[in-house]
Each structure stands twice: as structure tokens, then as C-alpha cells.
Structure 1
Amino acid sequence: MALPYLLKAPTANNYNPKIVIPTYYFSVLSLTNIPFFYFNTNFLIPKILKIKGFYMYCISIIATIFLLILFNSFLRQFLLNDSINYRILPGFGTAFQILFILAISTSYRILSDNLQEEDFRKERENERLKSELSFLRSQISPHFMFNVLNSIVSLSRRKPQMVEPVVIKLSELMRYMLYESDDAKVSLQREYKYLQSYIELQKIRFGDDVEVKFEHGLITEDKSIEPMLLIPFVENAFKHGVGMIERPLIEVFLGVEDHKLVFMVRNKFNHQFKETKDGSSGIGLNNVKRRLELLYPESHNLIISEQEDWYEVTLIIGND
């Protein structure tokens, strides 16, 4: 709206210093910038440029500029009692003003559309990630049940008297899976108790055949984690660390150090024994790796190593 005032002095004085242009003329002239601005941003660009193409948009802009110059001519005649002196008034100034508003409105619309598209892209990406995470989490329960039911079948043959306490412990785990793991995050203490229940179930299953050490460091109340994120590593240790191994040993550690979650699982394994993998093998580890990439893309470190007769997994979650 200030642009006509900035252009008025040199335009008038160049032609006739005695001509005094009334202030209200420039006030009315400046108001034409507003409809032109929104006409370009809300009609010409979305309806003409994006639908009918650049050629039709140029024609529309030229026609609009012609109409604005014509309106300016009528405005001068109506407000200034236009004479030959006034007709030469702001040819260049009016054209510059129109082109200036055109450039600003076009830039505004392009920037606004880009921001909207970026917001839409981020929203679409977030929805995709939510759907993928939901699908990955839904895979955990069937995979877990598959392993536990196989364990119960094996236990019913070797130690049938232990089936009942295992089923009771399994019901406690299922309660957590069904009713307590729907939240986006759970407290680290809840996840720790879930791991503890699972390990106790496995102790009932294997008895003294497998030595299991589950240690924990500081478990803070305010630390949270994606539910059932750690269990696949423990499942993997029991699946691959108990067969054809002399004095099998599984070690698990969970704690918080320097405001970072530290989780470690170690198990012995037999280099010479080549396990036959079925179609479900590796689902748990691949699942949790993908979840880590989605949930903690820049704040996790997963290290998997094999040293001599040990298979070790270390997971650290948290920023430096």
C-alpha cells in the first residue's frame, strides 16, 4: 500500500513541478494492490497457471495489467479531473507497481504451495511410518507365541508336570502383550518386568540345563521405551544358545548409564552345528532392526558380534 506514495514524487515533479497530486488519489490507488495480489495468488496461479499452462497465464496477466492501467486512467479522470498533464502522470510508475505486486504475490503463492506440499509429504510419511510400525508390532505377538508354543510342546514330552506353571507364566506375558503394550511408549520398569517374566518362563522350561544370568543396572522411572522392543534379542538367545552346546550360558543386562539405555545379551553358540532355518527364522531380529530405524534413527547403536564361542548383542539408545 505504501508503494504508490514512494513513486508519486518523482513521477509528478519530472513532468510539472507545479502539479500537486492529492494524497487521497494515492490512497485509493494503493487499495488496488490488495485485490490484484489475491486475484493472482488465489485465482490466476491455481486456476490458470497450474491447470491451463504458462501460455494462458501470461495472457491472463497481460489482460489483468491492461485492466488495471485502464482503471488507473479512469481513477485519475474521476479524482483529478484529468487533463493532458495528468495523462502522462505515472505510466512507468503504474507498470512498475503492478509488476512489483505480481512478483510478490507469485513468490508468496509458490512458497505457500511448497510449504503445504512439504507438510503434506511429512504427514503422509508419518502415516506411512505409523502403519509400518503398527504392522511390525503386530508381528511380534504371533512370532513370540510360535516360539513359546513350541517350547510347551517340547516341555510336555520331557517334563509334563511343568506344563501348568509354564502356561500360567505365559498368561501373565500375554496380559502384558494384550493390555499393556498398546501405548506408544512404556516405562523401562514395565519392560524390565516383562523380560524378567519371560526369562523365568524359560528357566522353568530348561531347569538346570541352561544357566541364565539376568542383571540390571539403574532402572529410572522416567525412562521409556517402545514396548516389546528388546524381547526378540532374548528369544534369539534362547533359540540358538541352548542346543548342542556344552554348559550353555545366557547373560542379559539392562540398565541406564549416562542417561542412555544399555541392553546386552550374550549366549554361547556352537560353530560346528549348522541350524536348519525355517521360514520364520530371523523375523524377530529383522523386525526389531527395522523398528529401531524408524523409532530411533539418529539415537541408537546396535552392535552384533561373534567372538570365539559367544554371540553378543549390544544395544544403546540415547543421544550423546
Structure 2
Amino acid sequence: MFKNRYLYIFLHIIMWLGYTALPVLNAIQRDTSKPQTNPYTNPYYWAYVSFSSILLFYLHSEYLFPKVYKQKPIRYFILLILVIAILLVGRYSARINFVGNDINQTLFYINSFIQYLYIFGISASYSFFTDYQKQQSTKRDNEHERLKSELSFLRSQISPHFMFNLLNSLVALNRKKSNLVEPVLLKMSDLLRYMLYEKDDKQISLDNEVKYLQNYIDLQKLRFGDYVDIDFNVKVPTFSKNIEPMLLIPFVENAFKHGVGMIEKPIIRVELQTIENQLLFIVTNKFSNDVQEIKDGASGIGLTNVKRRLELLYPEQHSLKVQQKDNFYTTELKLNLRQVA
């Protein structure tokens, strides 16, 4: 931030040095034998012309345009004419006092007015440009805050939705295999610990996310036993990548939600691999067209949530494909991961 500000000031200084030095250099080059006959070689007159030009530029760009023009345009034009008139009179007085009276007054005012008009044109362009930049910056900041709030809301939905599914699993397990409730609760404590202490505004390592998936799948294996053919295959050469927390779990949840129940020989396959910086995540579950599901108000929240999070966090950095074929439902996610700093 400070570097940009210093660069901004430095560029302005260089611009004004070049602008104010150019008339002097031209005057000396045109008449090397008698440079003193040119008014721009007089230091006092040159100082006034330079100061008045700089004053007009910044008075207009920093005050008249941004603060007066937008609120009271008529007052803006009156003040602008008044400022230019004062500068012209002052410039004529400086010319008389420091250089001499050997000039055509009308021609002098016309030439001086054209120069100030030139300064005004540059200042007006600069004001429009900086104002546009500020508007765009404000727009970007507002959009960033909106997306940040939306992302925070989406993340806040994950925990209750996930807990709802876990508690349903626990109730079902208590009815059928009550002796497994204790190990399942231990697995649930690991999952909850991850949700409470790892899921924050920052990304986490892929290793932690894989462990979280493994715990969830282990919990489901305890619940279903041999009834569901479950396979979790991980091919990750290195875990030195970052990923959004709890981004992958909704796809696995969805597979268990729709891939078990009144389905003959249910099968769930979860495959995760990385190739350089790209993650490939494939979840496949068997389904039956003959089974009519009863959907509640929370149905579909997980997938809808994760799709929106992908749009916000990985714009143009992911692809999501869903396919139904031969009684199998397959979700394939490709994601460009970030390297751990």
C-alpha cells in the first residue's frame, strides 16, 4: 500500500518536472544567444506559471470535480471560471513585473487561457479516470464482502446439515446394532472435532480432508457392515496441497443417502487422486429407478451448497460432471489445488 502511494507521488513529481522544464528548454534552444529575452527563462515568471498550472490541476481534480461538480454543477462552473480568471490576471501581473510590458495584452490572455484550458483538460481526464477507478474499487470491495458473507453463510449450513445426517445414522444404528454405538460415537467425536477446530476461513491441507473422509466412511462401514460394498481408494503422491474444508464430504454423503436402503447389493465407490496440481474426485453409487424417495425440506442442501462454494472459491478452476448409467450414479469433480505455502 505504501509502495503504491510513494510510486504515485513519484510519478506526479516526474510529470510536473517534465511539464514545467519543457518551456525553459525550448526557450534556450530557440535563442541560445539571448535566452533572457524569453519570459520562461525568468525564474520568477517561470515559478508563477508552474505554480498556477499545478494549482489549477489539483484544485480541480481533488476538490472542484469530486466535491463540487457532483453536488452543485452550476457552482462548479462559476468557481472554475473564477479560478481561471484569477490565474490569468495573476499571470499577466507576473509578466509585467518580472519580464516587461512588451506584449500584446489580448494575445497574451488568449495564449495563457489556451494553456490553462489544456491543464484543465488533463485534470478533467485524470478526475474522470480516478473517479472511475474508485467506483470500480468500491464495487469490487462490495462484491467481495457480499461473496464473503454468502460463503460464510454456506459454511454455516454445513455443520447442522451434516449433524442431521449423522444423527439419523446413529438412530438407525442404535436400532439394529446397539453394540456398535460406542465406537460410532468415538468416530463421530473425531468428525466433530474436525468440524469445530479445522473448519475456519482458511483452507486446510489435503491430508486433513482425506482423514476426515476416511473417518466418515469408517463410520458408515460400522453402521452397514457387509450389507454395503464400500471402497475408498486414495492415490495421492503428496499431500502438500490446500483445499477448502468439507468440500468433498457432501458428495460422499449423497452417495450413502441415495445408494443404500431398498437397493439390491448396494455399492459405493470413492476414488481420490491427484495429478500434479489437479485433484480428481469420483463418487459412484448404485441406485434403483424402482425406488421412490420421499424428500424432506433439507434434501439436496449439501450438493446445492457445495456447487455454490465451488463457484465462489474455484471460478474457472473446477469441473463437475454428473452421470447416470446402468443403475449407477457417478459424480466426477476435477479441481485445481493450491500449493501449501
Unaligned runs of 5+ in 2: 1-19
Taking the aligned partners of 2:106 and 2:129, their CA distance within structure 1 comes to 37
Q: Which residue of structure 2 lines up, in the alignment, with residue 171 of structure 1?
A: 189
Q: Which residue of structure 1 lines up, in the alignment, with residue 60 of structure 2?
A: 40
| CA offset digits 1:274-319 (Å, max 9, x no partner) | 1010000000000000000001111100001111200000000028
Compute the RMSD of aligned alpha carbons: 2.3
Taking the aligned partners of 1:119 and 1:20, their CA distance within structure 2 comes to 46
SS of the residue 2:269 aligns to:
strand
| CA offset digits 1:49-100 (Å, max 9, x no partner) | 11102x33222222222111111121122213435x3635623321111011
2:173–2:223 contact (8 Å) kept in structure 1:
yes
Taking the aligned partners of 1:201 and 1:162, their CA distance within structure 2 comes to 10
- The partner residue of 2:332 within 301, 314, 318 is 314
| CA offset digits 1:81-139 (Å, max 9, x no partner) | 435x3635623321111011101111112111111221221122111111111111111
Say whether 1:121 aligns with 2:121: no
Taking the aligned partners of 1:20 and 1:131, their CA distance within structure 2 comes to 64
1:182 offset after TM fit, Å?
1.6
Partner AA of 2:124 in structure 1: T
Q: Which residue of structure 2 lines up, in the alignment, with residue 282 of structure 1?
A: 300
Q: Once the two structures are aligned, what percentage of the paired residues are identical?
A: 48
1:260 offset after TM fit, Å?
0.7
2:159–2:195 contact (8 Å) kept in structure 1:
yes
Taking the aligned partners of 1:29 and 1:278, their CA distance within structure 2 comes to 78
1:166 offset after TM fit, Å?
0.8
- The partner residue of 1:60 within 62, 79, 88 is 79
Taking the aligned partners of 1:250 and 1:113, their CA distance within structure 2 comes to 57
- The partner residue of 1:31 within 51, 55, 58 is 51
Q: Give the 3 Å change call, closer, same or farther, for CA 183–67 of structure 1 in structure 2.
A: closer
Taking the aligned partners of 2:228 and 2:208, their CA distance within structure 1 comes to 25
1:258 offset after TM fit, Å?
4.2
1:251 offset after TM fit, Å?
0.2
Q: Which residue of structure 1 lines up, in the alignment, with residue 223 of structure 2?
A: 205
- Greater shift, 223-232 or 213-222, is seen at 213-222
| CA offset digits 1:131-186 (Å, max 9, x no partner) | 11111111111101101101111111111111111111100110111011225211
Q: Which residue of structure 2 lines up, in the alignment, with residue 15 of structure 1?
A: none
- The partner residue of 2:162 within 144, 165, 173 is 144
Unaligned runs of 5+ in 1: 13-17
Say whether 1:246 aligns with 2:269: no
How many residues are matched? Answer: 313
1:4 offset after TM fit, Å?
4.9
Taking the aligned partners of 2:131 and 2:173, their CA distance within structure 1 comes to 63
